[in-house]
Amino acid sequence: VDIYAYLFFHAARHLKDTGRMGIITSNSWLDVAYGYELQRFFLKKFKVIAILESRCEPWFEDASVNTVVTILERCQDSELRNANNVNFVKINKRLKELFPWDMNFPMDRWHGIDMLVNTIETAAFDNYKHHAAKIVKHSDGSATYEDKNFRIKTIKQSQLLADVEEAGKTVKWGKYLRAPAVYFEILDSCRDNLVPLSKLADIKRGYTTGINDFFYLDKDRIKHWGIEDEFLAPIIKSPKEALKIILTSEDVQYKVFICNKTLKELRRNKKYGALKYIQWGETRFSSDGVLWNKVPTVSGRKLWYDLGERVHGRILLQMITNDRFFAISNVEHIKVDHNLFEVFPTKDDYFYGLCIYLNSTLLALLRELISRVNLGDGATKTEGIDWKDILIPNEAILNSLSKQNKSFEALKNREIKSIFDEVKMKDRQSLDSSVLEALGLEPKKYLKQLYDGVTELVRERLELPKLRKNNKQAKTYRDVEKLKETVIDETLPQGAKKFPEGFADSKYLKGANEISLPNKPLQLGSYFMGQQDVISEDGSFKYTASSVEEAKYIMYAQRQDSYIVKIPREITVITNAVLDYERYLKDLKGKLFEQFFTRTHNHTKAEQLVRQVFEELGLP
């Protein structure tokens, strides 16, 4: 349980009847197991006024999770609670666009916030309906109101409570925030034709080896130990290895070590490759300093290296998804890692229809809405319990899908692309149309809405972490610039001393020698017999100074806005000015470093900031 969950219970103790509280938290409670207790607590003790989420901006740059705002009103009267309209609000604009403000007119901001609150709380009433660009009412009594600022899904609290109590577990509320209207329209039209996947198939997780470093082998390790083929089997570790729906052994990168023989049996049968590999494994330690064969996840087995015999599913489902949605057809019965789930249809007749449906964009939409989106990096996670509950066509429709196989045959042997590219493919459109038709839905009405809805969900999910990263970088840049500005003001309130004015008496500059310089960086060149060359980086300029000090004097005196340098005739004046300037620069670097290090406690960062300040001030 995330620790913030306890905050709701604690804060509620301090609320009187009709008192309100609003808390910003991770969105994870909407869809995970412990959310069940929170949902029951909210629905039985409060009016749930609104739950809000923005998919167009991160509210916290430093938090890698997505956040929601929950607004609750303490309510002792069950009739009032049940009659309450719960508003699930997807915010379509950045907050600064919804209520922009000027520091000179602070009341305008409060007026904007009042307008926002009023819009949300009256969504289900007539005054909002006049402003909504789109209104969709659903068969369960809920409704969706959408305009350019919000998409608001309103549901009677009594309905939410009934759903939670009937389920006896968390009801995924995330769909009410994220789901496009077409999702609810499709469910309204064909809910009676859909059943949970667990009704027609068993779902199991792939191998959890306990020590992947031992059990998963690449070609080099196999060759090194000379492990016999009978103890090796191809295994898929990640969906990324599968480029197509049809998975073959050539696609996977690793083999899994499968052995149920004792060491004595291996020695007797001269299986020395496997024998030596197991013996080597028993000398290796985990990162916690435990011998591999004593690690708790393997030590309970009769033979610690025996993964056991198991039949592998013919259909594989992803746990983690980015922007590729597909179900793998495991025709070669390749072994499966725990990063994927295996599907075992209860009847062989279901296999082909399931392959078709599980590779449809409608399934992608449903999956996008049941998956956990609290990873923070843009990916979604679909656990086994989520896959069991996902809706699929009933037996009769699966059988009819099996007969509509032309589109699937065209699709299954080509590379599966990003969802943004898939929806443009003719074979994809053909398959999705056949799925909609099998469910009694008109493709012309729903196909474009389906594609728009899925791509919008995925795009928002993937772009939110990028926005968070960009905002954090921008904030970091602003903070660094402000830090440099503060340190410069404190260390150099009058600005940096200029050379040579601040280090050589002006009387020595009268009658001084003048030389012309290019508008290019200068550097020291060759040194010979006391004479030091000053040259430009491109070699187009060269001046031979009478000493190293004179050469440095010229370089220090060069300025972007002046092409003439006056050089005193007295060598002692030149030398003293250069030495004093270099001591000044060294002392200034020390002071700046101390100031930056005190604020950042980072040696490398402090040195980097000192260099930046010197560059910005034009100091050598």
pLDDT in tens, 340-364: 999 999 999 999 999 999 999 999 9
Backbone dihedral angles phi then psi of residue 422, each to the nearest 5 degrees: -60, -45
Answer whether residue 247 shows pLDDT above 90. Answer: yes
**Residue found under tokens 């994220």:** 178
Distance of CA 475 to the CA centre of its chain: 19
CA distances from 132 to 35, 91, 148 (A): 31, 14, 8
pLDDT at 470: 65
Answer whether residue 433 shows pLDDT above 90. Answer: yes
**SS3 of 422, please?**
helix
Each residue of 17-49: pLDDT tens digit?
A: 999 999 999 888 888 888 999 999 999 999 999
pLDDT at 60: 72
pLDDT at 105: 74
Q: Are 546 and 531 in contact (CB under 8 A)?
A: yes
Closest CA to 455 of 483, 496, 480, 421: 421
Answer whether residue 367 shows pLDDT above 90. Answer: yes
Q: State the first-to-last Cα distance of the chain, in angstroms, to the nearest integer.
A: 56
Answer whether residue 56 shows pLDDT above 90. Answer: no
* Mean of per-residue pLDDT scores for the chain: 90
DSSP calls for 377-410 = SS-EE--HHHHHHSEEE-HHHHHHHHH--HHHHH
pLDDT at 469: 66
Q: Whole-angstrom Cα distance, residue 525 to residue 542?
A: 8
105-113 average pLDDT score: 79
pLDDT band, residue 417 (cuts 50/70/90): very high
Token code pair at residue 279: 């013996």
pLDDT at 57: 81
pLDDT at 375: 58
Answer whether residue 471 shows pLDDT above 80. Answer: no
> Does 513 or 276 have the greater pLDDT score?
276
Q: Whole-angstrom Cα distance, residue 444 to residue 559?
A: 70
Least confident of 63-77, 297-311, 318-332, 475-489: 475-489
The answer for residues whose C-beta is within 8 angstroms of residue 409's C-beta and 6 or more apart is: none
pLDDT at 511: 74
**Range among 271-275, 285-289, 536-540, 569-573 rated most confident:** 271-275
Q: Whole-angstrom Cα distance, residue 23 to residue 67?
A: 10
pLDDT at 476: 62
> Does 93 or 329 have the greater pLDDT score?
329
pLDDT at 75: 97
Answer whether residue 220 shows pLDDT above 70. Answer: yes
Least confident of 389-393, 400-404, 444-448: 400-404
Query: Which ranges of 24-173 does DSSP label H, i.e. alpha helix?
Result: 35-45, 78-83, 95-98, 106-121, 126-129, 157-167
Closest CA to 589 of 512, 461, 496, 515: 496
Share of the chain above pLDDT 70, in %: 95
**Residue found under tokens 């009694």:** 440
DSSP calls for 129-157 = HTT-SEEEE-TTS-EEEE-SSEEEEEEEH
Each residue of 250-281: pLDDT tens digit?
A: 999 999 999 999 999 999 999 999 999 999 99
221-227 average pLDDT score: 96
pLDDT at 104: 72
> Does 563 or 186 have the greater pLDDT score?
186
pLDDT band, residue 173 (cuts 50/70/90): very high
As beta bridge partners, residue 294 has: none
Q: Whole-angstrom Cα distance, residue 303 to residue 172?
A: 41
